[in-house]
């Protein structure tokens, strides 16, 4: 999920994004203070509510700025040849107290559109949920509330996904919804968070910053979540299979998912092979 471009350009762009987030936080704080002052003088509940709203906005922008600043530091180190290529989701994982997180965006019918992961285990876990049709992200999106399970409860809650994700070495999963005004646009999944930071309140705060200030904000420019897995190629592959086997798109999609699960491969890789005519499910 790099920014794209040359290393120095990436670092500069990352710092610019972080600075803009800080500026938005400062503006929101000033507005909150102004409304607090008016509330105190006029004893007006409306001004108190406005102050609380702007305090929340300022907090959200500060959280986003911290994520962007961490990414900018990694981009700067990379530009000096001092570290690996920068990945924004790595910083999200660090903020959550783990190495493995994933953001999944869904459409109005709760179909997965794209995912962005911090590492391979997170990517594989999201593939499993997509293939098996059950898991924490789906439940968090439907309930619009945090979802968590660990140990034996994984299999109890998700008979297919639970054992499969445990086989990846993941013992605990938490998912919190990405809430936009009037709708849920996806979820943040956190895998094996450190016990000291395993707070759904913390994860919800990070998810809120991601949603309002990064994904839907002014800094959701091209490349910030580069390297995302788009599900469009999977649906394209389903179309190819539907024509080959003269079946419905829904049945074809299930065949693509089943093949990926049986082969132990990424569903994106299987779909790409089908579209490129390197794999025939007929």
Tell me the CATH number at 238: 1.10.10
User: Is residue 1 a part of any domain in this protein?
Assistant: no
Average pLDDT of the residues in 68-72: 87
User: Is residue 113 a part of any domain in this protein?
Assistant: yes
| Burial 229-255, CB ≥16 within 10 A → b, else e | bebebbeebbebbbeeeeeeeeebbbb
Q: Same domain for 98 and 218?
A: yes
Q: Same domain for 220 and 234?
A: no
The pLDDT of residue 1:
40
* Predicted confidence (pLDDT) per residue in 177-208, tens digit: 999 878 898 999 999 887 655 578 999 999 99
Count of alpha carbons within 13 angstroms of residue 247, beta-carbon side: 17
User: Is residue 2 a part of any domain in this protein?
Assistant: no
Q: Same domain for 213 and 199?
A: yes
User: Is residue 168 a part of any domain in this protein?
Assistant: yes
Domain boundary among 54, 86, 118: 86
Q: Same domain for 113 and 221?
A: yes
- CB distance 118 to 101 below 8 Å: yes
- Coil, strand or helix at 91: helix
* Predicted confidence (pLDDT) per residue in 74-114, tens digit: 888 888 887 777 788 888 999 999 999 999 988 888 888 88
Q: Same domain for 44 and 132?
A: no
- Coil, strand or helix at 101: strand
pTM beyond 0.85: the answer is no
Q: Same domain for 153 and 129?
A: yes
Domain boundary among 56, 86, 116: 86
User: Is residue 120 a part of any domain in this protein?
Assistant: yes
Q: Same domain for 163 and 244?
A: no
Q: Same domain for 124 and 211?
A: yes
**pLDDT surpassing 80 at residue 226:** no
Q: Same domain for 112 and 214?
A: yes
Counting the structural domains of the chain, the total is 3
> Residue 26: which domain range?
7-86
User: Is residue 179 a part of any domain in this protein?
Assistant: yes
Q: Same domain for 221 and 258?
A: no
Q: Write down the residue that tokens 């790595």 correspond to.
A: 90
């Amino acid at each position: 999920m790099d920014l794209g471009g040359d290393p120095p350009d990436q670092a500069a762009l990352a710092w610019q994004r972080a600075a803009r987030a800080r500026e938005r936080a400062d503006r929101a704080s000033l507005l909150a203070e102004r409304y607090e002052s008016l509330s105190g003088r006029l004893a007006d509940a409306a001004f108190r509510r406005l102050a609380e709203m702007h305090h929340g906005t300022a907090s959200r922008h500060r959280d986003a700025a911290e994520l962007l600043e961490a990414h900018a530091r990694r981009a700067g180190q990379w530009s000096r040849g001092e570290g690996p290529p920068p990945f924004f989701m790595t910083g999200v994982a660090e903020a959550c107290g783990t190495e493995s997180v994933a953001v999944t965006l869904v459409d109005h019918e709760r179909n997965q559109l794209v995912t962005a992961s911090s590492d391979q285990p997170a990517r594989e876990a999201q593939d499993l949920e997509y293939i098996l049709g059950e898991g924490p992200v789906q439940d968090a999106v439907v309930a619009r509330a945090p979802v968590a399970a660990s140990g034996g409860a994984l299999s109890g809650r998700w008979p297919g996904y639970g054992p499969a994700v445990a086989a990846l070495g993941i013992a605990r999963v938490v998912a919190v919804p990405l809430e936009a005004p009037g709708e849920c646009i996806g979820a943040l999944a956190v895998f094996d968070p450190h016990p000291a930071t395993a707070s759904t309140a913390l994860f919800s705060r990070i998810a809120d910053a991601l949603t309002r200030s990064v994904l839907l904000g002014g800094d959701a420019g091209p490349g910030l979540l580069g390297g995302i897995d788009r599900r469009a190629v999977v649906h394209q592959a389903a179309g190819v299979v539907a024509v080959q086997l003269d079946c419905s798109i829904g049945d074809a999609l299930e065949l693509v998912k089943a093949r990926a699960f049986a082969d132990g491969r990424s569903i994106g890789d299987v779909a790409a092979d089908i579209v490129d005519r390197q794999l025939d499910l007929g």
